[in-house]
Amino acid sequence: MSSNQPMLKQLMRVKNPDHIVDEADHGGLKRSMGLFALLMFSVGSIIGTGIFVILGEAIPKAGPAVIISFVLAAVVCAFSALSYAELAGTIPVSGSSYSYAYATLGEIIAWVCGWCLMLEYGVSVSAVAVGWGQYLNEFLSAFGIQLPAAIANPPGEAGGVFNLPAVFVVVACMFLLLRGASESATTNNIMVMIKLGILIFFCVVAFTAFDGGNFEPFLPLGVAGIGAAAGQVFFSYIGFDAASTAGEEAKNPKRDLPLAIVGSLIVVTIFYLLVTIAVIGANGGQPSDYEGQSSEAVLAKVANDVTGSTWAGTIIALGAVVSIFSVVLVTMYGQTRILFAMGRDGLLPKTFTKVNPRTQTPVNNTIIVAVVISVLAALVPLGQLAEATSIGTLFAFMIVNAGVISLRRSRPDMDRSFKTPFYPVTPILGVIGCLYLILSLDVVTWIVFAVWLTLGMIIYFAYGFRRSRLATGEPQSWEQDPEPPVVR
């Protein structure tokens, strides 16, 4: 019992990382994912609609030098990805950065991290689902089919009232997740391969019209343009941490999680650079080349212009439809596993930890997440709220970088299957990079985040502070049963 301890010490109580790992081995989730599935989880989470949209906004800021912007953004992301890889290999559990914070920085920091992840996952997946109807309409229009604006568009935009496709994609993902982690992973593998194949198709088409002269001048807006575009494209890399939420369902987590996290960043960077070079080579790289163009249609426009017909653009639209479905699936999976970990620690009600004995998935958890996301996507104009998810993401990245430093100091002897290179420079640069991006965000983003954080603090002190397992002294499930069944 910790009730007699000073308040600050109670807030900063740390969960033994060895206990976290031991409990994960007896948590009731099925270890069914290999390296390829974990890699596809992260790749599927990163490559959403970002690459279909971002080039139309980033190229006008930097010109052909946007290529350097993508590399720069990838390097900044790599600092945090390497820290995630180290902690994922050391503490391979479902809670991702929430659990890492609990083992390194203390309960209050872990709660804030978990609360930020709820904002990031919940609102971002709702925002992504909202756009599914629009991309679906774009694809269906090639066959003369059009969904009514009232049910296909975001609430309050372009005649949108109730976003039915958004609800459909969320509910479909819910049923996939309820069937089991391996079934969800298989579906995600197929969808990721489809969207990567479509990006390769686009590159092949665009390179048939490649003109090297489109890369001159390479720096029309100077070095400042590179930085401006890098800050924008950074967010198209977010999602590499998705594999870390599958720590308790990976067959060989200590080996595969670090490989999946770092590998996904490498794979995505290669695809982003290929697509960027293809777009500039076929469509031009100067800001004037994109005046009056819809940023959301750049890839489809290039494909249509090169082929002289609309069939290529229809295939690109299919890529966007598949991408959104994959992102919704993986993001919902990640949120349910983080909530599972928080419920197991007593910071949230036990209903979030109920696992179906047949499918070995957190059923109540998944249904609750799907209902909340469906309501947000169908009825709430998200608007600027979606942008507030970026601050929660960056805050979680900062915590993971700081967690690497803390655990290296407190447990230098702990077994680490992967170590961040150039320590401590790498995690320090990760903290600095995230802090820089956080400080550059709009004021309204800070306001939304402050309101969300305040709500989180109220819930923590009203519920989690006194009910957490570290506060009550409640033994872990693996301590209650000396020989519980281990599900492999």
Strand ranges (E), 74-126? none
- Residue 317 CB: number of other CB atoms within 10 A? 26
Cα–Cα nearest to 404, from 386, 384, 388, 419: 419
Question: Which residue ranges make up each domain of the chain?
Answer: 7-476
Strand ranges (E), 234-372? none
**pLDDT of residue 485 exceeding 80:** no
Cα–Cα nearest to 341, from 7, 67, 52, 23: 23
Angle between helices 35-46 and 311-344 (to 10 degrees): 110
DSSP state of 300: H
Mean pLDDT of 425-435: 93
Q: Which letter, b or e, does each residue of 5-35 get, where b requires 16 or more Cβ atoms within 10 Å of its Cβ?
A: eeeeebbebbbebeebbebbebbbbbbbbeb
**pLDDT of residue 484 exceeding 50:** no
Supply 279's token pair: 């777009």
Decide if 227 contacts 7 (C-beta within 8 A). Answer: no
Please report which helix (H) or strand (E) contains residue 425, including its range.
helix 425-439
How far is Cα 193 from Cα 124, in angstroms, rounded to an integer?
23
How far is Cα 282 from Cα 311, in angstroms, rounded to an integer?
18
How far is Cα 152 from Cα 133, in angstroms, rounded to an integer?
5
Cα–Cα nearest to 334, from 81, 96, 71: 96
pLDDT at residue 483 in the model: 40
What is the secondary structure of 238-265 as a DSSP string?
Answer: TTGGGGGGGTTTBSSHHHHHHHHHHHHH
Q: Any idea which residue has 């007699």 for tokens?
A: 4
Kindly indicate the confidence band of residue 475, based on its pLDDT and cuts at 50, 70 and 90: low
What single letter denotes the amino acid at residue 308? G
Mean pLDDT of 271-294: 85
Supply 297's token pair: 């249609």
- What is the CATH architecture assignment of 7-476? Up-down Bundle (1.20)
pLDDT per residue over 374-407, tens digit each? 988 888 766 656 666 778 888 889 999 999 999 9
pLDDT at residue 119 in the model: 83
250: β partners = 33
Three-class secondary structure assignment of 357-417: CCCCCEHHHHHHHHHHHHHHHHHCCCCHHHHCHHHHHHHHHHHHHHHHHHHHHHCCCCCCC
Decide if 282 contacts 210 (C-beta within 8 A). Answer: yes
**pLDDT of residue 35 exceeding 80:** yes
Kindly indicate the confidence band of residue 158, based on its pLDDT and cuts at 50, 70 and 90: confident
pLDDT per residue over 253-263, tens digit each? 999 999 999 99
Supply 446's token pair: 């800070």
Lowest mean pLDDT among 152-156, 223-227, 479-483: 479-483
**pLDDT of residue 52 exceeding 80:** no
Mean pLDDT of 67-94: 93
Lowest mean pLDDT among 32-36, 51-55, 186-190, 322-326: 51-55
Mean pLDDT of 300-309: 89
**pLDDT of residue 487 exceeding 50:** no
**pLDDT of residue 131 exceeding 50:** yes
Kindly indicate the confidence band of residue 57, based on its pLDDT and cuts at 50, 70 and 90: confident
33: β partners = 250
